[in-house]
Amino acid sequence: MSVQTPIRQSATRIIVLGGGFAGIYTARHLQKFFARRTDVEILLVSRDNFLLMTPLLFEVCSGKLEMSACSISIREFLGSVGFAEAMVEAIDLERREVLVSAEGADKRKLPYDHLVLTLGSLTNTSRIEGSELAFTFKTLADAILLRNHIIERMERAEVESDSNVRRRELTFVVIGGGLVGVEVFGELTAFMDEVVRYYPRIRREEIHLHLLQAGERIMPEISEKLADYSTHVLSRRLGVSIRTSTPVERITPGQVHLKNEILEASTIILSAGTTPSPIVAGLRRCAANSAPNYGRLEIAHQYRIRTASPIPSWRSMRCERRRCWPRTFMRRLMTCQCSPSYTRRRELWPLWDATAASRLRWVFRFVDFRHGGFGAAIIF
């Protein structure tokens, strides 16, 4: 299939950018929904032809899992949906074109009728000076690189006699005590327990692992009780130090600078928040230009960019539906809109938006029912 022009000139082309969880599931649901429509073409564009199962990345880093165990072929997963392995360079919202490049090929412009942005995020390297010197932990390449680096540190320490150098080689620092930082940290401690036996000159007590968290507690994403329990479990491991309320001021080669202290470490891993994809941040008309939301898109209902054409009100949608609901139904979907009554269709659940949910709650509050969520959707 040529990705440059739609299969049919009259076809409506929906382009999904990004082959992460959001992208491939959106493409799959659209494919199912438009299965019988030959005039709708769906194309997914992503820089990798596999979906990375990020929750399994830690085990790939520690060698418990093979690389293939945490990646799924996008082509296999999506079946008949069009796929292009390419790098998205820019998006022209005015002309409705996406500029892409692929290895060994010229840059191309892909025209679209509807665009879905699911380009994910990057590790935020703007908060801490010198962040580019640290390892990130987001991609498959990151995990492999880190694994090789850690093993190399062990090899060096094994033959090193200078105690200072040896200590630096065997010190590992994770910056950021969010879910990913803590999980990397936990996996690292277990990995050390595992591999140290292959290095007869290294004692486990010589290996130091530091987790540095700027906030008051680790894993602010989960309940305090659970986070405290995790701290308790991790702290009991050998050579572990977990510090909260410890912001990192800067990173220099082999050093992490804290307020009153410098940690010497050959391995520094950064997991201190994320930042939107630069492609999305580059949509100046729609992306926020000021902190703390820099580069994030402001969206309205149905996850549409706020500056896109306005969505008709719920009232007018109902009137139209009464006149000719199948046509309206399709038209609404083509513009990525849906209402609660459509949610009975399983394929449309992911498209059910917050507005619909809030309207439902309002209706049931009005008639004094204590129902909501899925049950309310069926009744409605």
Ligand X SMILES: Cc1cc2nc3c(=O)[nH]c(=O)nc-3n(C[C@H](O)[C@H](O)[C@H](O)COP(=O)(O)OP(=O)(O)OC[C@H]3O[C@@H](n4cnc5c(N)ncnc54)[C@H](O)[C@@H]3O)c2cc1C
Instruction: Report the interface residues with ligand X, using CB under 6 A.
Output: 18-23, 46-48, 54-55, 57, 87-88, 118-120, 137-138, 180, 277, 279
Task: Pick between residue 47 and residue 371 the one whose CB is nearest to ligand X.
Answer: 47
Task: Pick between residue 119 and residue 211 the one whose CB is nearest to ligand X.
Answer: 119
Provide DSSP, 176-194. Answer: --SHHHHHHHHHHHHHHHH
First to last CA, the chain: 42
Task: Pick between residue 241 and residue 274 the one whose CB is nearest to ligand X.
Answer: 274
What is the closest distance, in whole angstroms, from the C-beta atom of residue 200 to ligand X in the complex? 32
Task: Pick between residue 105 and residue 159 the one whose CB is nearest to ligand X.
Answer: 105
Task: Pick between residue 87 and residue 334 the one whose CB is nearest to ligand X.
Answer: 87
Task: Pick between residue 77 and residue 364 the one whose CB is nearest to ligand X.
Answer: 77
- CA angle, corner 245, sides to 241 and 247, nearest 5? 90
What is the closest distance, in whole angstroms, from the C-beta atom of residue 125 to ligand X in the complex? 14
What is the closest distance, in whole angstroms, from the C-beta atom of residue 234 to ligand X in the complex? 17
What is the closest distance, in whole angstroms, from the C-beta atom of residue 46 to ligand X in the complex? 4
What is the closest distance, in whole angstroms, from the C-beta atom of residue 358 to ligand X in the complex? 23
Residue 380 · residue 341 · CB < 8 Å: yes
Cα(294)–Cα(91) distance, rounded to whole angstroms? 18
Q: What does each C-alpha distance from 210 to 38, 52, 309 come to in angstroms? A: 57, 27, 50
- CA angle, corner 198, sides to 192 and 204, nearest 5? 40
Cα(116)–Cα(161) distance, rounded to whole angstroms? 56
b/e burial code for range 261-289 (CB count within 10 A of at least 16 → b): eebebbbbbbbbbebbbebbbebeebbee
Measured from each CB, the residue nearest to ligand X is 20
> Hey, how many other C-beta atoms are within 10 angstroms of the C-beta on 295?
20
Task: Pick between residue 123 and residue 339 the one whose CB is nearest to ligand X.
Answer: 123
For residue 209, the surrounding DSSP H or E stretch is strand 208-212
What is the closest distance, in whole angstroms, from the C-beta atom of residue 277 to ligand X in the complex? 5
b/e burial code for range 21-48 (CB count within 10 A of at least 16 → b): ebbbebbbbbbebbeeeeebbbbbbbbb
Task: Pick between residue 18 and residue 186 the one whose CB is nearest to ligand X.
Answer: 18
Provide DSSP, 79-141. Answer: TTSEEEE-EEEEEETTTTEEEEE-TTS--EEEE-SEEEE---EEE--SSSBTGGGSEE-SSHH
- Of the candidates 195, 167, 188, which has an alpha carbon nearest to the alpha carbon of residue 265? 167
Residue where the block lists tokens 């995990």? 143
Cα(275)–Cα(126) distance, rounded to whole angstroms? 9
What is the closest distance, in whole angstroms, from the C-beta atom of residue 9 to ligand X in the complex? 26
What is the closest distance, in whole angstroms, from the C-beta atom of residue 349 to ligand X in the complex? 17
Q: Residue 363 is which amino acid?
A: V
Task: Pick between residue 53 and residue 165 the one whose CB is nearest to ligand X.
Answer: 53
Task: Pick between residue 119 and residue 287 the one whose CB is nearest to ligand X.
Answer: 119
What is the closest distance, in whole angstroms, from the C-beta atom of residue 70 to ligand X in the complex? 10
Q: How far is CA 192 from the centre of its chain?
A: 28
What is the closest distance, in whole angstroms, from the C-beta atom of residue 214 to ligand X in the complex? 19
